[in-house]
Amino acid sequence: MKRFFKVAAAVLVLGLLTPVAAADEADRAGSTHRRVSFAKIGSPSAPSGKGSFRFGVSSSATQIEDRNENTDWYLWTRPAPEGMGKSPFVGEGVEGYSRALEDVELVEDLNVDSYRFSIEWARIEPERDRIDEAALDHYSRQIDALIAKGIRPMITIHHFSNPVWVDNPRDPDCANGPSDTNLCGLDHPEGGPLVVEEMAEHARLLAERFGDRVDEWVTLNEPMVYMMFAHAFGAGPPGKAAFVDGFSTRFVPAVRQYINAHVAMYRAIKQADRHDADRDGLRASVGLTVSTKQYVAARDGEVSTEPRDIAARDRFRWFFELNFIESLWRGSFDADFDGTADERHPEWKGTLDWLGIQLYDRTSVSDPGPTPGPTTVPHINVDVCAAPPCHRLLDPTYFVPDMGYESDPQGLYPVLKDFAARYPGLPLLVTESGIASDSGKRRAEFTVRALEQIDRARSEGVDVRGYYHWSLMDNFEWLHGYGPRFGLYSVDRTTMERTPTEAAELYSAIAKSRTLTDKVRRIYGGSGPLTPEPDGGTEASAPAAVPGRRD
């Protein structure tokens, strides 16, 4: 069992977390180098926004901010004895809190329409029911600075991190029951509803304070990613490993309460945000983001056509991605993750105005058969892998060595098509897209190709209303620490100096002109190899790895 936990934590934590229906491997349309133009920004969910398009950039508070000692991630990563020393130390981030107003100027230089960022709950409410007005004022000034420069804020409320008092990692069993210093977390029968209530109160506070200037809200970032590292395998705070021995008694209740949290936050925002700041006819537009993947049924290192592997692929996708979204779409819940809803929750239905798509990796799934191995995911009985020898790379240069997965630059098209068909009428945004690389050109190529695939989907009627690059700057990539670099701006962590990469300069030009020129597409676009990593690390001989994502 200990062997399983070690492997599973690596597999399902470092990132195994993003699905989508498998793409037709033969359908890989390349660039024709025609000029592509994008419309102006509009509402992410109102009917008036259909056909609109926004260029954006994303970040998250815990990954960039300094002076953030009240988060569970700070406690979890801080070396002992002051902290728990469980994974690379977040430390002072990249001084994103101290330099917040300076960084608004970086966003302005990108010529983007919108900045998606999170507000750190632990900074606003470091102790239960004690609100830090200075922190609220800080974020208020940041919002004002963005709006003054014509940049629309999109606020993420819960991006993986919590105040320590929500679910104290030092006391995961919570034997004494909920208290003001430890509510015991989403999985606790008494504490779970209290956490949901607190999340709704936090969302309401933000909507009350900022709703006169902010209309666009994200309740949860990649909910099943959070569930997996926090409650399944305990690789991140609060460190609860309930997937094997507590699947039905602890893990599933945590998922159910997290759905309740989204619904409670959605309703709180709708009630508290009384202003139509962007004049689109809606006072608030509320969505969440989902971690998606390109799923490939695989066997013996090749794409598999065997029904058992195709079924395994679909089982895993249902477990990791679809069950959560279907619950909100249909008002029901599949509590045993067998593919059939067995609980009715009509109160959940209709609480999703738009959906954010976040795709990073191409992942293979196979059926382990009657004798599961040490890497088999229990309960859904699948083997999951992100790189050779589990499956053949589409191109050696698509391998991302810092993350241990393959990232297909053409992957967004089949993902967007699938979601549009599955949820007709639900507007989509690409709320994160990027690649970890030490090469600015490689990052630029990935950006252009993502936009090409979005344009392809839009030209076929898919309602995709924007693209947010991940990330604004190099930052803390959770269990990977500061090694992977996704930023449009590179960061020297000694001086904290921000330097625009080739990707930043190119993206700025694209956003300003709202155009992909034929020249830009000829140089950066298409379906061929990417520029290799400077150290030659993007080779098919790269070590086998588990599925991963950056955050």
Secondary structure class of 155 (helix, strand, coil): strand
- Integer CA distances (angstroms), 517 to 20, 32, 51, 71, in order: 30, 11, 20, 44
Supply the pLDDT for residue 33: 73
Going by the DSSP 8-state scheme, the letter that residue 390 receives in this structure is S
- Integer CA distances (angstroms), 182 to 158, 238, 243, in order: 18, 11, 22
Strands (E), 433-531: 464-470, 489-491, 498-500, 515-516
What distance in Å separates the CA atoms of residue 231 and residue 240, rounded to the nearest whole number?
5
- CA nearest neighbour of 45 among 417, 470, 469, 356: 356
Neighbours of 306 (CB within 10 A): 13
- 487-515 tens-digit pLDDT: 999 999 999 999 999 999 999 999 999 99
Secondary structure class of 475 (helix, strand, coil): coil
Supply the pLDDT for residue 495: 98
What distance in Å separates the CA atoms of residue 71 and residue 360, rounded to the nearest whole number?
26
Q: By the 8 A CB rule, do 287 and 269 touch?
A: no
What distance in Å separates the CA atoms of residue 450 and residue 453, rounded to the nearest whole number?
5
Which run of H or E residues covers position 432? strand 428-432
- 25-61 tens-digit pLDDT: 334 444 457 899 999 999 999 999 999 999 999 999 9
Residues 6+ apart with CB under 8 A from 80: none
Q: Per the structure block, which two tokens stand in for 410?
A: 């053409």
Neighbours of 176 (CB within 10 A): 9
Q: Per the structure block, which two tokens stand in for 340?
A: 């059939």
Supply the pLDDT for residue 374: 85
Beta-bridge partner residues of 158: 220
Model pTM above 0.85 = yes
Neighbours of 200 (CB within 10 A): 23
Q: Per the structure block, which two tokens stand in for 246?
A: 């507590």
- Give burial (CB, 10 Å; 0-12/13-18/19+) of 481: middle
What distance in Å separates the CA atoms of residue 515 and residue 38, rounded to the nearest whole number?
6
Supply the pLDDT for residue 303: 96
- Give burial (CB, 10 Å; 0-12/13-18/19+) of 129: exposed
Q: What angle do CA 391, 393, 398 make, to 5 degrees?
A: 140
Supply the pLDDT for residue 237: 98
Q: Which pairing describes strands 489-491 and 498-500: parallel, antiparallel, or unpaired?
A: antiparallel
What distance in Å separates the CA atoms of residue 458 and residue 151, rounded to the nearest whole number?
24
Q: Per the structure block, which two tokens stand in for 396?
A: 């050696």
Supply the pLDDT for residue 535: 80
- What separation, in Å, do the N-terminal and C-terminal C-alpha atoms of the chain show? 27
- CA nearest neighbour of 54 among 151, 119, 142, 148: 151
Block residue for tokens 């690789």 = 235
Backbone angles phi and psi of 232, in degrees to 5: -90, -55
Q: Per the structure block, which two tokens stand in for 406?
A: 């393959």
- CA nearest neighbour of 390 among 271, 284, 304, 454: 304
Task: Please list the ranges in the chain whose pLDDT falls under 70.
Answer: 1-32, 536-551
What distance in Å separates the CA atoms of residue 401 and residue 386, rounded to the nearest whole number?
11
What distance in Å separates the CA atoms of residue 150 and residue 114, rounded to the nearest whole number?
8
What distance in Å separates the CA atoms of residue 486 and residue 511, rounded to the nearest whole number?
19
What distance in Å separates the CA atoms of residue 472 and residue 103, rounded to the nearest whole number?
9
